[in-house]
Amino acid sequence: MKSLAEVFAESLMIDAASVVDSLAYQSIKEWDSVAHMVLVTALEDNFDIMLDADDIVAMSSVAKVRAILAKYDITA
């Protein structure tokens, strides 16, 4: 299983070092709505979960994604 930072880095095609908790959706050009859905699929595959629309909408930052994963008992 990859780490959350690795999943982010691969999905958004950014450097793992720039995956910090405060990184926000649409704050960088790499995290647009298309990349957001790539990220969703990658998270689902990596952590073996299915996210619902409310989760996908709420994934507004790395910290928020971490909190959503915690709902599924995943510490990332």
Q: Which residues are near another protein by CB under 8 A?
A: 37, 40-41, 49-50, 52-53
Residue closer to another protein by CB (options 1, 17) is 1
| Rounded Cα–Cα distance for residues 30 and 49 (Å) | 24
The least distance separating another protein from the CB of residue 37, rounded to whole angstroms, comes to: 8
The least distance separating another protein from the CB of residue 75, rounded to whole angstroms, comes to: 20
Cross-strand pairs, 24: 61
| Rounded Cα–Cα distance for residues 28 and 50 (Å) | 26
Cross-strand pairs, 61: 24
Q: How many residues does the chain have?
A: 76
Residue closer to another protein by CB (options 52, 73) is 52
Residue closer to another protein by CB (options 14, 49) is 49
